């Protein structure tokens, strides 16, 4: 970094630039992806702008057909965000002020917030210590006479134990709504995630495995009644199931659907690339770390799509800072369990009631992993990480 001081000469500037690009690895970067798709996307966006129809038109319909087929289900309903997808399914199922809905204690808080939007109460269940998804062993104890639905989350791209969760739900006559916001294209027992429950809810926030250049979401289902209900609800329609709901606008913009129509064709190859990088991290980091670093678990029963490459370390915050100094960007998903947030509960109670989620929140570190990042960058992350672990 001494070079920085002598940067008045033209040569010096170039060296600094080189030096930075050679060393820094961003946690996430979408600009490369746009460069590679630019021509296709601009053509479609231009067509949308010229068509005079800007929301919920032909591109949205085309995307719904394509996405339903991709997930091997009959129906898909495109909406304006993943949170809306969850909210609308809960409304369509008649979830109201009397209801409780079971959600995992560690997820992005939208899962639990969508329950609150219906006036219902989220009931938290701790996560499995290795899979990090809703723990089926703790599920039954959380079911009460008020329970109306269960929302497992395929966290980080890892499939929840859908066989055991579905068995318990069936035994109690409860619908399962899958939160697939982090697992587009992932599968469990060769079946696409989102197609196990009565509905699967997706987010197309830009950083997700399939993303818009803005906001978006979708619901997939095999239930024609639910499908009809959702189509009404997303655009100010009323529903028999939720009479107190005044209606609202949850439509997807045409431009975003056009972007998704281009990107859906790449989802499988992007997920393969993610899995390849995860393999590479494993081969570079395994064993080297004398047990202080925990790598994500992989199971034969499912296909992890690595929305997040989540490792664990006891001194996570220190490690994160040290990596930042070495030019490696990282993230934390998530710094606390959802029931530790003040609107859901308290931190002290949450760590008592949900020890597994609390331990993950204290130790989780997300390493850079995204399509187009390149093996050289990934190796740079691994080298930086290993030097810190021996330091």
Ligand X SMILES: *Cc1c(COP(=O)(O)O)cnc(C)c1O
Q: What is the DSSP letter of 367?
A: E
Residues 275, 341: Cα–Cα separation, whole Å: 32
CB of 111 to ligand X, least distance (A): 5
C-alpha gyration radius of the chain: 22
CB of 376 to ligand X, least distance (A): 29
- Closer by beta carbon to ligand X, 181 or else 367: 181
Between the alpha carbon of residue 323 and those of residues 22, 282, 362, 368, the distances in Å are: 15, 18, 17, 11
Which residues lie near ligand X (CB under 6 A)? 81-83, 107-108, 110-111, 153, 179, 181-182, 203, 205, 217
CB of 81 to ligand X, least distance (A): 4
- Closer by beta carbon to ligand X, 123 or else 323: 123
Q: Do residues 258 and 48 touch, judged by C-beta distance below 8 A? A: yes
CB of 82 to ligand X, least distance (A): 3
CB of 332 to ligand X, least distance (A): 14
CB of 195 to ligand X, least distance (A): 17
Classified as helix, coil or strand, 302 is strand
- Measured from each CB, the residue nearest to ligand X is 82
- Closer by beta carbon to ligand X, 181 or else 365: 181
- Closer by beta carbon to ligand X, 179 or else 303: 179
- Closer by beta carbon to ligand X, 216 or else 368: 216
Virtual CA dihedral for 284, 290, 293, 298, nearest 10 degrees?
A: 60
Q: Do residues 183 and 159 touch, judged by C-beta distance below 8 A? A: yes
- Closer by beta carbon to ligand X, 139 or else 338: 338
Q: Do residues 61 and 69 touch, judged by C-beta distance below 8 A? A: no
Residues 156, 255: Cα–Cα separation, whole Å: 27
């Amino acid at each position: 970094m001494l070079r920085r001081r002598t940067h008045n000469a033209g040569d010096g500037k170039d060296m600094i630039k080189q030096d930075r690009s050679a060393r820094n690895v961003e946690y996430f970067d979408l600009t490369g992806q746009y460069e590679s798709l630019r021509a296709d996307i601009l053509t479609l966006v231009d067509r949308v702008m010229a068509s005079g129809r800007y929301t919920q038109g032909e591109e949205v319909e085309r995307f719904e057909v394509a996405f339903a087929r991709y997930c091997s289900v009959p129906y898909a309903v495109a909406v304006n965000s993943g949170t809306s997808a969850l909210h609308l399914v809960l409304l369509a199922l008649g979830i109201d002020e009397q209801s409780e809905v079971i959600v995992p204690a560690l997820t992005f808080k939208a899962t639990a917030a969508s329950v609150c939007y219906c006036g219902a109460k989220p009931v938290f269940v701790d996560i499995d210590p290795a899979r990090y998804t809703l723990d089926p062993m703790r599920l039954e104890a959380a079911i009460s006479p008020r329970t109306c639905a269960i929302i497992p989350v395929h966290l980080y791209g890892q499939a929840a134990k859908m066989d055991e969760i579905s068995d318990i739900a069936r035994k109690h006559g409860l619908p399962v709504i899958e939160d697939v916001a982090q697992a587009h294209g992932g599968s469990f027992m060769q079946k696409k995630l989102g197609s196990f429950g009565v509905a699967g809810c997706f987010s197309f926030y830009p950083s997700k495995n399939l993303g818009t250049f803005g906001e978006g979401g979708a619901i997939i289902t095999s239930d024609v009644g639910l499908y009809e209900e959702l189509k009404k609800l997303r655009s100010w329609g009323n529903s028999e199931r939720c009479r107190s709901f005044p209606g609202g606008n949850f439509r997807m913009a045409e431009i975003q659907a056009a972007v998704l129509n281009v990107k859906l064709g790449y989802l499988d190859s992007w997920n393969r690339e993610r899995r390849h990088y995860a393999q590479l991290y494993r081969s570079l980091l395994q064993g080297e770390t004398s047990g202080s670093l925990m790598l994500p678990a992989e199971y034969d029963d499912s296909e992890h799509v690595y929305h997040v490459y989540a490792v664990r370390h006891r001194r996570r915050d220190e490690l994160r800072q040290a990596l930042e100094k070495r030019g490696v960007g990282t993230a934390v998903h998530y710094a606390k369990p959802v029931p530790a947030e003040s609107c859901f509960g308290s931190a002290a109670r949450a760590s008592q009631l949900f020890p597994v989620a609390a331990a993950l929140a204290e130790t989780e570190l997300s390493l850079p992993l995204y399509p187009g990042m390149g093996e050289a960058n990934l190796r740079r992350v691994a080298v930086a990480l290993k030097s810190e672990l021996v330091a």
